[in-house]
Amino acid sequence: MELSARFLLDILSIVLIDLLLAGDNAVVIALAVRNLPPAQRRLGISVGAGFAVVLRIVVTFFAARMLQMPYIKLVGGLVLLWIAVKVIADSKQEEEGGREAGSLWQAMWMIMVADITMSTDNILAVAGASKGNMFLLLFGLGLSIPFVVLTSGLLSRLMDRYPAIVYIGSGILGRVAGEMILTDPWVVETFHPEQWMVYAAEALGAAGVLLVGSRLLKRKH
């Protein structure tokens, strides 16, 4: 009975982790597909979420080693900043007659790059909660599919009605990017940033994305 209770507690922990961590990936996917026609948007959300989970399964076995490698999070954070700025800069294109036919592939590329840069920390959380139990690990990774799909679909519909959510989502990506950059092993070993510096980098990342993205948007229009 004790073992059963522990098992159920581990499952509950993984469910809560998936609920919390699905948010970042859902924001990326919703922002990437928001300018697509409805049919392509649904396809983009489904394929993007599926890719996110497949990637997690593959990377799970290398997650701990990857986090210890220098420059991985640094480069990933910089790429994430670029994606967040680009989302704001392109946010008005759908009002000018839609985007080109290749935009689905562009959206899929953005989802893939962002998920590669953001997934390692998330994978470690699920892997840690599973305590080496392969069933729990696969359960946690598989459960993230409906969480990401449902959240992405809801966010993309809300962005249609409330364009300000695009800026909020991009600001979230900027915050995540700032945290990734300052917690990269090379940055930590070289500069020894204190915790308040990490918070400052998160705030600067969010503010910088909003400022640069808005300026680029005004320049385009």
- Judged against a pLDDT cut of 50, whether residue 2 lies above it is answered with no
Average of pLDDT values for 1-9? 64
58-89 pLDDT, tens digit per residue, is 766 665 566 567 887 888 788 888 888 988 88
Q: What's the angle, vertex CA 121, arms to CA 117 and CA 123, rounded to 5?
A: 100
pLDDT level of residue 100 (50, 70, 90 thresholds): very low
Report, as an integer, the average pLDDT of 21-31: 74
- How far apart CA 67 and CA 210 sit, in angstroms, is 28
36 or 206, higher pLDDT: 206
- Average pLDDT (44-56) is 74
CB 35 within 8 A of CB 103: yes
What average pLDDT does the segment 138-160 reach?
A: 76
| pLDDT, mean of residues 173-195 | 90
User: How far, in Å, CA of 58 to CA of 65, rounded?
Assistant: 13
DSSP 141-177: HHHHHHHHHHHHHHHHHHHHH-THHHHHHHHHHHHHH
- pLDDT of 1 reads 40
pLDDT value at 56 more than 80:
no
Q: Which amino acid is at 26?
A: A
**pLDDT higher than 50, residue 213:** yes
Give every CB contact of residue 33 below 8 A, 6+ residues apart in sequence.
40, 41, 44, 45, 48, 107, 152, 156
pLDDT at 156 (0 to 100):
79
pLDDT tens-digit series, residues 109-136: 777 777 666 666 666 666 666 666 778 7
- Least confident range of 51-55, 120-124, 175-179, 195-199: 120-124
Residue 95 DSSP one-character state: G
For residue 97, what pLDDT band results from cuts at 50, 70 and 90? very low
- The pLDDT assigned to 96 comes to 47
One-letter-per-residue 3-state SS of 39-86: HHHHHHHHHHHHHHHHHHHHHHCCHHHHHHCCCHHHHHHHHHHHHHHH
* pTM assigned to the model: 0.68
